[in-house]
Amino acid sequence: MAATPTTFRAASEHAIEVANLGVRYSLRFSRKSTLRQQIAQVVSRKQVEDFWALRNVSFTLVRGESLGVIGPNGAGKSTLLQVLAGIITPSEGAVDVRGHVSSLLTLGAGFDQELTGSENILLAGAFLGLDDKLVRDLLPSIVTYADLGQFIDAPIKTYSSGMRARLGFAIATSVDPDILLLDEVLATGDETFRAKSKQRVLELVRGAKGVVLVTHDMNWVTEFCNRAILLEQGRIIAEGDPTEVVAIHRDHSERSKAERKAALDRAMQEGGVSSLPPDAARSGVAR
């Protein structure tokens, strides 16, 4: 059934508005199967199983707001950012993004490993659709902010993960974006760079920009975000004050961990093992 078209408020001051967003993947070819099995599936018209990475997701990001997106692995956080960046087309619902978007979704994404740092800055500018003269004018400030020393003239393949993060963040934030999307990249790098990157995000928020940050660093969320949403299994479970949402996330995580341990203990007992070694109990892996 086709989704009902969504009409956004014309006078809204939002930077991003998401309404009833859904992203669906077909599992038809996601599992290993023989050609005979695939043909049999088509002939029998067996219903293909679908997986919803996101479902019924709705929220608004106003200008000058920093939104933290948290949740367990596989909750749909990175998928959400890719939709906002225009990389993934929603299966249902609607997304309205207003303004120039800059994103750093995957560490080192878009870098040419054989080119130098400076050359990759020019390449990234082209990918962002920026005028070449503007990028060359910004080049000195980007190089200074990344603070890579002589490595700026070395091939990216010689960079550590922290160095790639510094260069990527310097590029993503140098173009004065209206909306900045970040996916777990600020956890990489030394303490000095992390402090500098946090300060830059705060500057963007004060300049009436919008920031969406996916992270597992709860301190980041409570200290530097003014709103948060908790995703679980592709749906928003909680939304609001970062401290309250983080508390819910931690509570859910502890309960899930306890349930997994209890299930593992039951399985071990049924298998004839009375208890788990302490190290196995901690890791959740039986020996």
- Spell out the per-residue pLDDT of the chain, length 287, in tens: 444 344 444 445 789 999 999 999 987 655 555 566 656 655 655 555 789 999 999 999 998 899 999 999 999 999 999 999 998 999 999 999 998 888 877 655 678 999 999 999 999 888 877 888 999 999 999 999 998 999 999 999 999 888 888 898 888 888 778 898 988 766 666 778 878 887 887 788 778 789 999 988 898 899 889 999 999 999 999 999 999 999 999 999 999 899 888 888 888 888 765 555 555 544 444 43
Determine the pLDDT at residue 212.
93
Determine the pLDDT at residue 53.
95
**Amino acid code (one letter) for 248:** I
CA 192 – CA 116 distance, rounded (Å): 23
Domain ranges of the chain: 250-283
Determine the pLDDT at residue 227.
95
Determine the pLDDT at residue 138.
92
Determine the pLDDT at residue 77.
94
CA 221 – CA 223 distance, rounded (Å): 6
Determine the pLDDT at residue 189.
62
Cβ 174 vs Cβ 204: under 8 Å: no
CA 218 – CA 68 distance, rounded (Å): 9
H or E element that contains 181: strand 179-183
